[in-house]
Amino acid sequence: MDAEDLFGRLAGIWDEQAEAMDSAMGAHGPAARRALDVQPGERVVDLGCGPGLSAVALGSEVGRRGWVGAIDIAPDMVRAAARRMAAAGVHGAAVTGDVAGVDVAAVAGEGRPFDAAHSRFGLMFFPEPATAFANIGRALRPGGRLAASVWQDLDRNPWMAVTSATAVQILGIDRPPLPQPGQPGPFSLADPEVTLALLSGAGFVDVEVRSVESPFLFDGDGAAGAARVLSAGPLGPAFLAADEDRRHEVIDGVLSALECHRSAEGFAVPAASWCLTGRRP
């Protein structure tokens, strides 16, 4: 299942759980936005905008004199983002498009280049990342900035690794491992040297990769948080297709496997991402 199909099927889950998922991500969620440091009046594009939380946050920073172009491959995600942006009074537009191939400035920026490009875990699903990054660069003005968050290796992210491994076993499904670095999927940009080379090869300069290490929180008794990760991730279709008893069994199994990470706030599970930054010369 490619990214368009997966996120199209799970868009309702992401929309419904957007705020809770944002809270669970902790420091990983705003890392790229803080690195980008957009200013009032700037034009910024949110790549792989999802249900729109990051676009709304960017809108509050650029203000009414600025512009936020939110773009995603899944139409239902775009509708959710447009709804949130309208409710928050964000000056901009949410559009459906494949960041890898469309003229991003034309479809999301009224034909004008952007000062900055942002992505929160939206750049890992390109079949041909070199082509996609070059296309993103073309959407920026000379001197335009890029900041994006991507996940580090699966073994540094037990919130996903343990959850997925436990669910696969209990559901009894025949499913290949999560895609490896270099293959489209959550961990395709986990190798920092490869990612640096991709960005430099696409024409970006002053490229840096910074590690962000902060827990992923399954709050309270952890059940709702585990269900969110299972529903919204690569195993979402299989987990949601199971009957209620089996889903409860999976959640109980996940929480048992994560017991060593229990804290006063819930389950504080280790997580690691990269914050990528670069500039168009």
Residue ranges of domains in the chain, CATH in brackets: 3-153+179-216+272-279 (3.40.50.150)
pTM of the full structure: 0.94
pLDDT at 1: 53
Q: Give pLDDT, residue 184.
A: 82
Identity of the residue numbered 139 = A
Query: What one-letter code names the amino acid at 29?
Result: G
* DSSP SS3 for 42: coil
Pairing mode of beta strands 67-72, 43-47: parallel
Residue 93 dihedral angles phi and psi, to the nearest 5°: -155, 145
Angle, vertex CA 33, rays to CA 31 and CA 39, nearest 5: 145
pLDDT score at 237? 86
Torsion of CA 192, 199, 113, 93, to 10 degrees: -40
Q: pLDDT value at position 264? A: 87
d(CA 44, CA 61): 10
Tokens of 206: 């002053």
pLDDT lower than 70: segments of the chain: 1-8, 175-182
What is residue 232's predicted lDDT score, i.e. its pLDDT?
Answer: 87
Residue found by looking up tokens 């199209």 in the block: 8
Q: What separation in angstroms does the CA of 123 have from each of 3, 27, 70, 91, 131?
A: 11, 18, 14, 24, 12
